[in-house]
C-alpha cells in the first residue's frame, strides 16, 4: 500500500513538473493528435475504398486501431521512458538511486519515468472508439463492458511488458538493445486484423510476440467475430497472456538487476 | 554492537582485457575478461554516532565500499553488516534508517521547488507530519535555505542544490548517513556551512556519518576518525591525531624574510627551496635541527624581518603516501 501511495505521489509531482511548461505540454498533445489522427484517417479511408480488410468493415478496423492505440498509450505511459533509460541507468546513477530508496526499485523506476504525455494518444483513441462504436451501433451488456476494461488493461500490460523485455538487455549491454526492433516493428502489425497476414506471421503474433492479444483477439469477443487462429480459445486468453508476460518480465528484471554493476562516481 | 561492520570484504569487477596483439576480429568474437579487485580484504567497524572520514586516492575503492554498505553492490567475499543486517538482502528496510548523498548526483525534482521534493520524501520515508515539520524547519534553518525553498531547483546554484540534497538526506532522521564527496565543486563559504551543519547534526541527533572526500579540510574539520584505503587495501584506521603523529613528515619548511637582499643561508642543514625577493623558503629536517635551533640560527646570523614555520598537514602526508604508493600502518 505504501508503495502504491509513493507511486501516485511521484506521478503527481511529475505532472506538476510537466505543466511548468504549459505551452510545450499542450503543443505536444496537439501534435500527437494530428500525427495519430492522420494515420487513423488514412487507414479508415483506405479500407473504405476496398470495402473490407480481411473481412473486417472500415468501422471495425477503426475500432481495432483505436484499441491498439489506447493500449499502446496505457503501456507506454508506464514503460516507454523506462525502456529507453535502461542503457543509461548505470552511468547516470538512476539505478543506484532506485536501490537506495525504501520502496521496491522497479516500482520506483516505473514511477519516476512515468510518461504523462500519452494523454494525447488516450484522448484520441477514446474519441475514435466512441465514434466507431456509434457507427457500428454497438449496444453492450454489462459483462461486455467489463470485458472491454479487461481488454484495455491486459493490452496495456502486454504492451508495457513486451517493451520492457525487448529493451531490458541494454541494462547489461549499455547500448540500444538488439531485440528492441522486435517490439518496434512487431507492434505495428497488431493495428490491423491478424487474418490479413500469412499464417506463419499469425502464429508468431499469437505465440512468440503475442501482439495479437493486445487488440485483435479480445476485440473478437466484443465485435462477434471469429477468425484467425483458434478464435474460440484465443479470444479469451488476453488475461492469461498478461499474467504470463508479467511473470517473464519479473524474471528478466530479477536476473539482470542482480547482475547490476554500478559505474564509478 | 557496531552499526556498520565489514569483515574481510573484497569486491571484484569483471573488466575487458584488451590485447593490442590480437586482431579486432578476435576481440569482437572472442573478447577476454579479467578480474579487477576494487576492494581487497577490508575489515572495520563503526559505532553509533561516530564521524568517520573515509579517504583515498581516485579509484582506491571508497565509492565501491559505500555502495556495498548501501546495498547497491554485493561483496565478492566477506561479510557486510549494517544495523546487524545484510544490506543487500534488507535494502528497503535499511533505506528507512539511512541517508546517502553522491556528491555529483542530485535527488531533487529538477523543475519543481525544493519544498516539493521535501513533500515527496515525507511520503516515501513515512515521516509523520509533526516530525516532518520540525525536522524540515530545523534543517532549513541550519543550512540557511529559507531564501530558496520555494524556488525551482533548475534555478539554484550548485551550493544551494548541495545544501538541499543534504537536507533531504537528513529529513527522515537517519541513523547512518553516507556522504560521497559532498563538498565537491563548492566555494569555501558553502563548504564551511556544510561542515558546521554536519558537526552540529551529529552532536544533536547522534547520526553516524561516513564521509568520503578529497578535500582534507573536510576531514580536518569534521572527522575524528580516519580510514585510509589505497588500491582497495586498508592502510590506516584510527584517530586523526594519531594519523598526524604517526605519519608526520620529518621535514618542515622555514620561510625567512630578510630585512635586505641577502645571499642564501650557508648551512648544510638549510636546503633552499624557493626564493622570491627577500623571502627564502628552506627545507629542514626535524631529526637534524629542531625548529627552535633553526630559528635562532637564522635570526642571530642574519638580519631577519620575519620567520614562519610550516609543518606538514594531512594533505602533505597523503600526497607523499600516494606518491610513494605506501602500504604501511597498523590498523586500529
Q: Which residue of A has its CA nearest to B105?
A: A93
Q: Which of A4-18, B96-110, B309-323 has the lowest mean pLDDT?
A: B309-323
CATH 3.30.70.980 fits B4-246, yes or no: no
DSSP string of B128-194, one letter each residue: -HHHHHHHHHHHHHHTT-GGGTTSBGGGS-HHHHHHHHHHHHHTT--SEEEEESTTTT--HHHHHHH
Q: Which residue of A has its CA nearest to B121?
A: A6
Which of B11, B124, B154, B210 is most worth mutating to test chain A (most A CB atoms within 10 A of its CB)? B124
Q: Say what the pLDDT of residue B325 is.
A: 59
The confidence band for B242, taking pLDDT boundaries of 50, 70 and 90, is confident
Q: Say what the pLDDT of residue B329 is.
A: 45
Which of A101, A109, A263 is most worth mutating to test chain B (most B CB atoms within 10 A of its CB)? A101
DSSP string of A183-201, one letter each residue: HHHHHHHTTS-GGGS-HHH
Scanning the structure block, which residue is given the C-alpha cell 488475461? A239
Q: Does the pLDDT at position A199 exceed 90?
A: yes
Sorted by where each begins, the domain ranges of chain B are: 4-246, 250-311
Check if the beta carbon of residue B93 is closer than 8 Å to that of residue B84: no
Q: Say what the pLDDT of residue B251 is.
A: 79
- CB contact (8 A) between residue A265 and residue B120: no
Residues B125-176 pLDDT 10s: 999 999 999 999 999 999 989 999 999 999 999 889 999 999 999 999 999 9
Cell numbers at B98, concatenated:
539511512
Q: Say what the pLDDT of residue B330 is.
A: 43
> What is the average pLDDT score of chain B?
88
> If you count residue pairs, one on A and one on B, with CB atoms under 8 Å apart, how many are there?
74
Across the range A100-119, mean pLDDT stands at: 95
The confidence band for B59, taking pLDDT boundaries of 50, 70 and 90, is confident
Q: Which of residues 98-127 of A touch B (CB under 8 A)?
A: 99-105
Across the range B221-227, mean pLDDT stands at: 90
Half-sphere exposure of A247 toward its Cβ, with a 13 Å CA cutoff? 6
Pick the more confident residue, A21 or B248: A21
> Which residue, among A184, A175, A241, A172, has the nearest Cα to A208 in the 3D structure?
A241
Residues B21-36 pLDDT 10s: 888 888 778 888 888 8
Chain A residues inside the 8 Å CB shell of B125: 102
Q: Does the pLDDT at position B298 exceed 50?
A: yes
Chain B residues inside the 8 Å CB shell of A2: 126
Residues 6+ apart with CB under 8 A from A123: A29, A33
Check if the beta carbon of residue A238 is closer than 8 Å to that of residue A222: no
Flag whether residue A259 sits within 8 Å of chain B, measured between CB atoms: no
Q: Say what the pLDDT of residue A264 is.
A: 59
ipTM: 0.86
Q: Say what the pLDDT of residue B183 is.
A: 85
Amino acid at each position: 500500500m505504501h508503495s502504491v501511495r509513493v507511486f501516485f505521489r511521484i506521478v503527481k509531482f511529475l505532472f506538476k513538473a510537466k505543466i511548468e511548461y504549459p505551452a510545450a505540454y499542450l503543443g505536444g498533445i496537439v501534435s500527437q493528435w494530428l500525427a495519430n489522427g492522420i494515420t487513423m484517417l488514412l487507414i479508415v479511408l483506405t479500407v473504405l475504398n476496398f470495402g473490407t480488410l480481411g473481412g473486417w468493415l472500415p468501422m471495425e478496423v477503426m475500432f481495432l486501431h483505436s484499441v491498439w492505440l489506447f493500449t499502446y498509450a496505457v503501456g507506454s505511459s508506464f514503460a516507454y521512458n523506462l525502456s529507453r533509460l535502461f542503457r543509461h541507468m548505470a552511468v547516470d546513477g538512476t539505478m543506484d538511486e532506485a536501490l537506495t530508496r525504501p520502496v521496491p526499485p522497479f516500482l520506483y523506476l516505473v514511477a519516476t519515468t512515468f510518461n504523462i504525455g500519452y494523454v494525447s494518444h488516450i484522448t484520441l483513441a477514446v474519441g475514435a472508439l466512441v465514434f466507431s462504436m456509434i457507427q457500428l451501433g454497438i449496444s453492450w451488456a454489462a459483462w461486455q463492458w467489463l470485458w472491454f476494461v479487461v481488454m484495455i488493461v491486459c493490452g496495456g500490460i502486454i504492451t508495457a511488458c513486451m517493451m520492457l523485455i525487448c529493451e531490458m538487455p541494454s541494462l547489461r549491454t549499455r547500448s540500444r538493445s538488439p531485440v528492441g526492433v522486435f517490439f518496434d516493428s512487431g507492434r505495428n502489425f497488431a493495428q490491423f486484423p491478424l487474418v490479413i497476414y500469412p499464417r506463419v506471421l499469425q502464429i508468431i503474433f499469437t505465440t512468440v510476440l503475442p501482439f495479437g492479444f493486445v487488440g485483435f483477439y479480445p476485440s473478437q469477443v466484443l465485435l462477434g467475430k471469429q477468425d484467425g487462429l483458434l478464435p474460440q480459445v484465443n479470444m479469451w486468453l488476453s488475461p492469461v497472456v498478461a499474467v504470463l508476460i508479467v511473470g517473464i518480465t519479473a524474471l528478466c528484471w530479477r536476473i539482470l538487476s542482480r547482475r547490476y554493476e554500478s559505474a564509478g562516481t | 554492537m557496531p552499526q556498520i561492520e565489514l569483515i574481510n570484504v573484497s569486491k571484484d569487477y569483471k573488466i575487458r582485457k584488451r590485447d593490442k596483439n590480437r586482431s579486432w576480429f578476435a576481440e569482437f568474437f572472442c573478447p577476454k575478461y579479467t578480474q579487477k579487485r576494487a576492494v581487497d580484504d577490508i575489515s572495520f567497524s563503526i559505532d553509533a554516532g561516530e564521524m568517520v572520514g573515509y579517504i583515498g586516492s581516485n579509484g582506491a575503492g571508497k565509492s565501491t565500499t559505500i555502495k556495498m554498505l548501501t546495498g547497491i553492490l554485493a561483496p565478492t567475499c566477506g561479510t557486510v553488516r549494517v544495523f546487524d543486517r545484510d544490506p543487500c538482502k534488507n535494502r528497503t528496510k535499511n533505506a528507512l534508517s539511512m541517508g546517502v548523498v553522491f556528491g555529483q548526483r542530485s535527488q531533487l525534482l529538477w523543475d519543481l521547488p525544493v519544498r516539493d521534493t521535501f513533500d515527496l520524501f515525507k511520503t516515501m520515508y513515512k515521516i509523520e507530519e509533526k516530525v516532518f515539520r520540525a525536522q524540515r524547519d530545523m534543517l532549513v534553518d541550519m543550512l540557511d535555505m529559507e531564501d530558496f525553498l520555494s524556488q525551482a531547483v533548475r534555478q539554484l546554484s550548485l551550493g544551494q542544490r548541495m545544501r538541499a540534497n543534504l537536507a533531504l538526506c537528513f529529513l527522515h532522521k537517519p541513523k547512518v548517513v553516507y556522504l560521497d564527496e559532498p563538498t565537491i565543486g563548492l566555494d569555501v563559504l558553502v563548504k564551511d556551512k556544510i561542515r558546521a551543519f554536519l558537526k552540529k547534526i551529529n552532536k544533536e541527533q547522534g547520526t553516524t556519518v561516513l564521509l568520503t572526500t578529497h578535500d582534507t579540510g573536510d576531514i580536518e574539520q569534521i572527522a575524528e576518525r580516519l580510514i585510509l584505503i589505497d588500491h582497495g587495501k586498508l592502510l590506516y584506521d584510527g584517530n586523526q591525531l594519531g594519523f598526524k603523529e604517526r605519519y608526520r613528515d620529518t621535514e618542515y619548511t622555514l620561510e625567512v624574510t630578510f630585512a635586505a637582499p641577502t645571499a642564501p643561508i650557508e648551512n648544510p642543514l638549510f636546503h633552499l627551496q624557493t626564493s622570491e625577493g627577500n623571502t627564502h623558503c628552506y627545507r629542514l629536517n626535524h631529526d637534524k635541527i629542531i625548529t627552535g635551533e633553526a630559528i635562532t640560527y637564522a635570526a642571530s646570523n642574519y638580519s631577519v624581518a620575519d620567520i614562519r614555520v610550516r609543518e606538514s598537514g594531512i594533505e602533505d602526508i597523503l600526497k607523499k603516501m600516494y606518491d610513494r604508493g605506501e602500504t604501511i600502518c597498523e590498523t586500529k
